[in-house]
Amino acid sequence: MFTRRGDSGETDTGLRERVSKGSALVNLEGTLDETISFIGHASVISRWDDIRADLRQIQVDLFTLGEHVSASGKRRTIGKERTEWLEERVRAYKSEIGKIRLFVVPDGSPESTSLHVARTVARRLERYAVSVTRELQIETPVLTYLNRVSSLLFMLALASNKRLGIEERIWDIRLSS
């Protein structure tokens, strides 16, 4: 589908205002779209219903977050309850995983590595959101939510390897000199 309206390098915001495709808003929306897509990829690779359900819920939340940003907070938004849900899920997977040793090398299974890729893209989204906080008037609850998304993706990656009986590869700082 095409409308030709974007051929000159502009697009519409959620409030039907024209902006440059190089604007902070469009860059944030693009990084959000990448994050949603990588999470979708991880979801279809996952073997477990609970992990797939959590990933699909994050996608829904990120779409809501995108609406919040594109409509300058005048429509649906991400509230504190969504961050609390992420924190509860992190705790649940942490109890399944047990002790976590840092630094984990993204490795192991396709399920785990796809979640690590989604995690790194989610971190980029968070960094970019922080960098444009003032310009786009992004509130703290949105930033907190984005910070917790990558935490849950990390736990899901570790849980995936554990469920498959794959031991995490740990980077040993003592051996890197």
Q: What is the pLDDT of residues 18-59, one digit of tens each?
A: 766 668 888 899 999 999 999 999 999 999 999 999 999 999
| pLDDT by position in tens, the chain (length 177) | 777 766 677 667 666 777 666 688 888 999 999 999 999 999 999 999 999 999 999 999 999 999 888 777 677 888 899 999 999 999 999 999 998 877 888 999 999 999 999 999 999 999 999 999 888 888 888 999 999 999 999 999 999 999 999 998 888 766 655
Number of domains, the chain = 1
104 in any annotated domain: yes
107 in any annotated domain: yes
What percent of the chain clears pLDDT 70, i.e. is strictly above it?
88
Report the interhelical angle of 24-45 vs 140-163 (nearest 10°).
20
Instruction: Quote the pLDDT of residue 100.
Output: 85
CA 124 from chain centre, in angstroms, equals: 9
134 in any annotated domain: yes
Domain that holds residue 76: 10-175
56 in any annotated domain: yes
User: Per residue in 149-162, is it b (16+ CB within 10 Å) or e — as a string?
Assistant: bbbbbbbbbbbbbb
**Which domain CATH number covers 166?**
1.20.1200.10
Instruction: Quote the pLDDT of residue 70.
Output: 78
1 in any annotated domain: no
92 in any annotated domain: yes
Instruction: Quote the pLDDT of residue 13.
Output: 61
- Enumerate residues 6+ apart whose C-beta is below 8 A from 31: 121, 124, 125, 128
Instruction: Quote the pLDDT of residue 21.
Output: 62
5 in any annotated domain: no
Instruction: Quote the pLDDT of residue 156.
Output: 98
